[in-house]
Amino acid sequence: MFDYRSAALDVLKTEIAALEQLDQYFNQDFVQACEMIMANKDGKVVVMGMGKSGHVGNKIAATLASTGTSSFFVHPGEAAHGDLGMIESGDIVLAISNSGESSEILGLFPVLKRLNIKIISMTGKPSSNMAKLSDLHLQITVPKEACPIQLAPTSSTTATLVMGDALAMALMQARGFTSDDFALSHPGGALGRKLLLKLSDIMHTGRDLPLVTPTTVVRDALLEISQKGLGMTAVVDDHQLLVGIFTDGDLRRILDKRIDIHSALIGDVMTVNPTVAEPNMLAAEGLNLMQDKSINGLILCQDGKVVGALNMHDLLKAGVM
């Protein structure tokens, strides 16, 4: 029986070895490439590549675009048949080819040069035509491919991807790109919900907000908790200012003390100085706060007044956790 596991481990070892020597190529050429892109305020980074290099290039362009560097991928074959019009003077072309001899890309160089477009090539052959004709060259040479017959691009495509990620992340940090910036380009899906959603978007307000006063009998407060379904109620004064909170946990504690819920006032058994948050807090931050404080519910206040409330179930339903 063929040893699939050993074959897989050989691939892993070969590709790790390739990456371990990649650090030598994060040299002055890499720094200059970053500086060239940073200095290009109005232009875009146009990524090109054929075959496997094209697939990796597509991913690199997407990573650049989502981390603050305007970028898109153009297929070299399509560029020669009209898509070259997508590239404008002032753009920077990132051309990827392990051999550095991709005829489809090299055929575009005269036009790119005529348009005064800067070219950064990423190849495994610093003596290649593409490397020599480019304004800057990023080397991605690997000792060998993980393919046992040394034909399928494997280690070389991994090295290309890492070089692209390094470029994108270096630029991201240089720009001071934040999680808020990242959220603006990822508004959809779970990631968007975590980064963009605020507590005000999911909090209970108005008639759905559990509220009682300090003079409310515990029994009536329990009815308010049951009707509103948050497992707690805020305790407010006549001006809607928060003075305390009463939760399911508080109920268990007073029952252990045999306090009469039909006569005791909520003001005498409530928790004072509870953990609160503001409505404009990100939902992800609210989740972290609740987990840090080991609480299941959160009262939201604005200038001391209670304006909303939510519990862990609301965050779960909103897809924040």
Q: Does 55 belong to an annotated binding site?
A: no
For the CA atoms of 247, 253, 259, 264, the dihedral, rounded to the nearest 10 degrees, stands at -20
In this structure, are strands 276-277 and 242-247 parallel, antiparallel, or unpaired? unpaired
268 is in an annotated binding site: yes
Query: How far apart, in whole angstroms, are the C-alpha atoms of residue 14 and residue 23?
Result: 16
**137 annotated to bind ligand:** no
SS (H, E, C) the chain: CCCHHHHHHHHHHHHHHHHHCHHHHCCHHHHHHHHHHHHCCCCCEEEEECHHHHHHHHHHHHHHHHCCCCEEECCHHHHCCCHHHHCCCCCEEEEECCCCCCHHHHCCHHHHHHCCCEEEEEECCCCCHHHHHCCEEEECCCCCCCCCCCCCCCHHHHHHHHHHHHHHHHHHHHHCCCHHHHHHCCCCHHHHHHHHCEHHHHCECHHHCCEECCCCEHHHHHHHHHHHCCCEEEEECCCCEEEEEEEHHHHHHHHHCCCCCCCCEHHHHCECCCCEECCCCEHHHHHHHHHHHCCCEEEEEECCEEEEEEEHHHHHHCCCC
Q: Is 239 annotated as a binding residue?
A: no
Contact (CB, 8 A) for 8 and 148:
no
Q: Residues within the annotated binding site?
A: 75, 81, 215, 268
Q: Residues within the annotated binding site for Zn(2+)?
A: 75
Q: Residues within the annotated binding site for substrate?
A: 75, 81, 215, 268
